[in-house]
Amino acid sequence: MTTLDPKTMADWQIAEAAEAKMKSIGQLTEDLGILPEEVIPMGRQLAKIDYNKVLDRLGGRPTAKYIDVTAITPTPLGEGKSTTAVGLIDGLGQLGKKVTGALRQPSSGPTFNIKGSAAGGGLSQCIPLAPFSIRFTGDIDSITNAHNLCMVALTARMQHERNYDDERLAKSKLKRLDIDPDRIHMKWVIDFCAQSLRNITIGQGGKMDGYHMDTGFAITVSSELMAILSVARDLKDLRERIGKMVVAHSRSGKEITTADLEVDGAMTAWMLDTINPSLVQTIEGNPVFIHAGPFANIAIGQSSIIADRLATKLGDYHVTESGFGADIGFEKFWNLKCRMSGITPDAVVIVATIRALKMHGGGPTVKPGKPLDEAYTQENLALVENGCGNLIAHIETVKKAGVTPVVCVNGFYTDTQAEVDLVKKVAQENGALAAYSQHWLKGGEGAIELAETVVKACEEPEDFHFLYDLNDSLKTKVEKIATEVYGASGVDFSTEAQKRLSELEQDPDLKGFGVCMVKTHLSLSHDPDMKNRPKNFRLPIRGFLVYKGAGFIVPLAGDIKLMPGTASNPAFRHIDVDVDSGKVTGLF
């Protein structure tokens, strides 16, 4: 890989050069110990894996060491968490370990907007880059269609119930559900950052043109269907969970589910192929399963339980990924995913960059598309030290789970040795192991120190335990997350949220549900402008969503929206196709 230079080559150029030497799917699966009949080809470069056949065959095999990758509170540019996860996979490979990974599928929202693909970067990325970043094996498209089919069923039923009397409804073999148009809990979805679709009106025209109502769009990865895919254990579980989704309430207060709309079976049919994880590889030929989606700020944001169950039977070390900082990504991994999967981590990597620590330490504002201030490219120990409060908060969060944290200083070539040494010193003084990694620049070779440190962490004794008990009240669960993870002094529920909280706490069907918070990823608080480690703030909760299919309750904190917006200088301006070769250019 010495001929590939991230300093002079774009990610897509590196990927294109590496793809010329990538393993075939047959070689990749053979090396992994997957049989030909367990492979579902998806063209020449990609495949899905029949997880059920593999688990039936290998169910008794010992489970691999399990490592989660999370991060400190990032800048709006992101701090290279996926890049670090891939670098760690390749670093473990460099040590001769049989290693697997599980990452989340890129959403078209960030791919064509600011952050770019979630394939990693530099010499630490997954290939083939273009199909991985665009369309892939169709999972997100299937979720989009299944979700919107549900909305079609809902709005069509509302139209027919308005237009038909009881006799005509009966002839159509429909039961009157008496749906309350003011208590619709779902919107439509699309996998782009389309702020103009957040609030729309549909059904304009005559009585045959649908039901006139206010609605809108969320981004696909925030759909409850994506959450269900993340936590389902098998097809039977997926089917049952889809049937439990609450779409609306009737005027009398009865829940209206997908099963009531008789659309749950068809939705499952759309989702059928999504149940099997997809397989790609790193530049260095290590296997990575791709399953479920990103956005831990507005969704669960985890690679799937199925992918982890599969991968932990195929290797000695398995690296998975949680979205954004440990306050939201790891917290949901800890209290939702691990609880549902029964698999607990042996180590947790917290990705930190000198850049982000300087921002938290009072550095100039970091804005996508704008040049970085020289404060971020020149040594400034004071800014780094001031910003380490944010790092310490995330270390303490991981330690509360009873797991050994490993702070990975994700290396930029502008970092100085004194800055790196300072971060490692702070990490170690606060009970974490620490390593510097140059995987972006050097691939797996640059991640050997990180890999060795993670191997060491996996041998440390652990006392894994959850933050809250499932029998705690909903209010208690929210307050524990707010105070013990975010550092809030308390929680303020709006009048509407307080009313809904009382309703939810009286619902016996919700006993034992976990909490999946919707909160900004740009701060430990609800306010993206509050950097470092905010003190003396109260977390405002404006409402709740109920994901009965996924099995958790979703409090809405602050003003965050379920549909992001596209920026003024989005990535799609630079993406094109070489018409001679047919290859996609400009991805990052």
**Residues noted as catalytic:** 81, 83, 104, 115, 296, 324, 412, 440
Residue 350: strand, helix, or coil: strand
| HSE-CB of 410 using CA atoms within 13 angstroms | 29
DSSP tag of 75: P
> Minimal CA–CA distance to 120: which of 135, 134, 104?
104
* Positive or negative torsion for Cα 410, 226, 472, 517: positive
CA distance 572 to 230: 28
CA distance 172 to 156: 13
Q: Going by C-beta distance under 8 Å and a sequence separation of 6 or more, which residues neighbour residue 95?
A: 448, 451, 452, 455
Phi/psi of residue 408, nearest 5 degrees: -105, 115
| Contact in structure between 373 and 359 (CB atoms under 8 Å) | no
Q: Going by C-beta distance under 8 Å and a sequence separation of 6 or more, which residues neighbour residue 167?
A: none
CA 113 to the chain's CA centroid: 17
| Contact in structure between 193 and 565 (CB atoms under 8 Å) | yes
CA distance 290 to 525: 30
| Contact in structure between 64 and 89 (CB atoms under 8 Å) | no
Pairing of strands 347-352, 200-202: unpaired
How would you write 463-486 as a 3-class SS string? CCCCCCCCCCCHHHHHHHHHHHHH
Q: Which pair of tokens denotes residue 110?
A: 């960030």
CA distance 289 to 422: 35
CA distance 291 to 275: 9
| Contact in structure between 391 and 406 (CB atoms under 8 Å) | no
Q: Which pair of tokens denotes residue 369?
A: 């598309």
Phi/psi of residue 356, nearest 5 degrees: -65, -40
Total number of residues shown for the chain: 588
Longest dimension (CA), the chain: 80
33-39 CB contacts, 8 Å cutoff, 24+ apart: 33/58, 33/314, 34/314
